[in-house]
Chains A and B, each alone.
Chain A
Amino acid sequence: MSRTLEAITSPRSLASGKVDNQTMKAVRIHKYGGPEVLQSEDLPRPQVSAATEVLIRVHAAGVNPVDSAIRRGLVKEIFPVSLPWIPGSDVSGVIEEVGPDVTRFKKGDEVFALLNPAKGGAYAEYVVVSESELALKPKLLHHIRAAAVPVAAVTAWNALFETAQLQSGQRVLIHGGAGGVGHFAVQLAKRKGAHVIATASAKNHELVYELGADEVIDYQAQKFEDVARKIDIVLDSIGGDTQERSWKVLKKGGVLVSIVQPPSGEKARSVGARGAMVQSRPDGAKLAEIAKIIDSGQLAPVINRILPLSEARRAQELSQSGHMHGKIVLRVVNHNGGK
């Protein structure tokens, strides 16, 4: 029994039987493909190579649809990656080492970050990030919850406030109001004073109302365009037919912001509206602002599943399956005596 205890006390020793401070566990792909191309590997730890970089001991990594899209090779133009590639752009952890020119953070700081998806790197025990991508983790969230925030919350923020310039009193239609980006968008739009209409499957209605939606539409039972009218802003996280049918609910001068598929300029002109595509970009300052709102008690992530890093395949399968509310997070550091 005591031998077992000792081994558990030092999680890093499990793979090799000895403590090793040069390697790390990570999940990588060597070719594009299905979830099966995700492989657990022992890799050299990344090194701080630029003066403004920091090395983070990853505690948790958020799972985002873009991780799967890149893995499948569907977005090579937008996110050109070099193989082998470690997925993951949402990270929460503790600073292990800082470059000589890093001024705002120090070793031991608890931080979260949004990494460039093409660069990735969060599905690992260590990742190197630039100081500009970092913010102090919200105090109210532990690492698992914090890792659910960056990509989804920043995407929702950019779509609503930067691209669409949401104003108090406007009518917003949020497709997929229970989803990763959607559940942040509902909360942020409500907080800004908008009238929030969101679509969700019936089982997620209660959640979406709780997040602050004024109206929730069961998109499987009725056509949203029959219910939602005179909309100032549509936030489209679905694309395809949903985006196509969204034009007719917009007011003249309204905006359709998509996070999945560039809207047609022609369609936009034909209804006197504007279309835009939005993505999240690394932005530590914005993350700091979002952390402040979270710590004020007015914004929180919804966690659907927590899985160990070794279950990254299953995490991405679940993420791709659709109909998942909230976020999926990979636990990298284990605080509870597990493997």
Chain B
Amino acid sequence: MSDQSSNRPLAGKAVTYKALGGPEVIEIVERTVRAPAAGEVRIEVKAAAVNPTDILFRDPGFGDQFGGDTFPIVPGMDAAGIIESVGPGVSRLHAGEKVMAAVMPVRPEGGAQAQHIVVPAASVVPIPEGVSLAEASTLPTTGLTALNALEIAALKTGQILAVSGGAGLLAQYAIAAAKRRGIKVIADAKPADTELVRGYGANIVVERGLGFAKAIRRELPNGADALLDTAVLGEESFGAIRDGGIYIPVRGWGGKPAERGIKIKPMLVSDVLERTEWLELLRDMVAAREIKLRAVEEYLPTKAADAQRALVAGGHRGRPVIRF
């Protein structure tokens, strides 16, 4: 029934945080990874994307929300690589297949930035054709977050989604997902990024920095039906939303309730890491060129701290990816 090429634990490298703190808490360790159980696969990771969330896991302000005091933590929510073995009851995926995976770091097996990982098969699909493993690793978790935001917003065809931080990766995928559903998008961007964000599929791009709410209202006097706040603007962005509209924060919500009947709907990506049909949809969107995966910049595991610094610095150097 299943293709089990290996039942043994496997040794390999992993990026870890030894404690909360700055980049100095990052360490490369050798660890063993157990064989996949029922419904799981073991992947030989070739590339693991670096996401802003990875950094929150060691942030003293956020970290205890994520992993508690159970250090070391293996960070990383996105992996791409080759299936090494499959557990009982897995026939959709096979050893040797090139796959991408959405990974939950808060679990005993840890996150994606390791040479070998064990994950639920439901979180794994073959990579899109025509893209590299490194490129594919930028898709799963951010893509699932985008689809989750669209599901939570529950907008109808023709309604308008506002997206703050329009040039970011999450914004890019959310704009593509909105477009597919016939939802109109208004987003902000620096002047230099306007064409880029239009290229993602945004119908209207407003200039960043003039005050997001004011800029949106100038285009939409009644406000947008929903706002996906990828730039983490918080309360100051409520003005962009129409009365009774929806605010979707990306890092939970600890602030006060919104005014004018605006509903705050926080989302949690760990809720959707096993939505296989969404991972397949994302793959199809790449194949259909609805999502154009970005260039990547590869870092060795020993340079994981540099990869995180590059992500924070931003710019146009390509999405940092750890290469195993």
Residue positions of A touching B, CB distance < 8 A? 1-9, 14, 139-140, 142, 144, 187, 206, 209-212, 294-300, 302-303, 305-308, 331, 334-339
Contacts and interface: CB of A to CB of B under 8 A. Distances in A.
B251 A8 contact: yes
Interface of B: 1, 35-40, 56, 61-62, 64-68, 87-92, 104, 106-108, 120, 122, 234, 251-255, 266-272, 274
Contacts, number: 113
Main secondary structure on B side of the interface with A: loop
B265 to A, nearest CB: 9
Given A4-B254, A339-B253, A300 B37 contact: yes
Nearest to A334: B268
B41 to A, nearest CB: 12
A331 B89 contact: no
Given A9-B65, A337-B65, A337-B66, A297 B268 contact: no
Nearest to B38: A300
B254 A331 contact: no
Contacts of B272: 306
5 contacts: A2-B61, A210-B39, A295-B37, A308-B268, A334-B268
* Minimum-distance CB pairs A-B, first 3: A7-B254, A297-B37, A338-B252
Contacts of B36: 297
Nearest to B64: A9
A335 B65 contact: yes
B252 A210 contact: no
B44 to A, nearest CB: 19
Q: Which of B89, B91, B120, B253 has the largest count of A CB atoms less than 10 A from its CB?
A: B89
A335 B252 CA distance: 11
Contact of B252 (A296, A331, A337): A337
A303 B274 contact: yes
A28 to B, nearest CB: 22
A270 to B, nearest CB: 38
B255 A210 contact: no
A299 B271 CA distance: 21
A206 to B, nearest CB: 6
Given A297-B35, A303-B122, A339 B252 contact: yes
Contacts of A206: 91-92
Contacts of A336: 65-66, 106, 252, 268-270
B100 to A, nearest CB: 19
B86 to A, nearest CB: 10
Contacts of B268: 308, 331, 334, 336-338
Given A210-B90, A338-B252, A5 B61 contact: yes
Given A6-B61, A9-B64, A339-B254, 9 more contacts: A3-B254, A7-B254, A9-B62, A300-B38, A306-B271, A336-B252, A338-B253, A338-B266, A338-B267
A303 B274 CA distance: 7
B242 to A, nearest CB: 22
B252 A307 contact: no
A6 B107 CA distance: 24
A209 to B, nearest CB: 7
B92 A210 contact: yes
A8 B89 contact: no
B30 to A, nearest CB: 22
Nearest to B234: A4
A187 to B, nearest CB: 7
Given A187-B89, A335-B65, A335-B106, A300 B254 contact: no
Contacts of B90: 210
A3 B61 CA distance: 10
Given A140-B37, A206-B92, A300-B39, A8 B108 contact: no
A7 to B, nearest CB: 3
Nearest to B89: A210
A14 B61 contact: no
B87 A334 contact: no
B62 A331 contact: no
A8 B88 contact: no
A2 B272 CA distance: 28
B254 A14 contact: yes
A300 B2 CA distance: 15
A40 to B, nearest CB: 14
A95 B252 CA distance: 26
A144 B268 CA distance: 13
Contacts of A300: 37-40, 89, 120
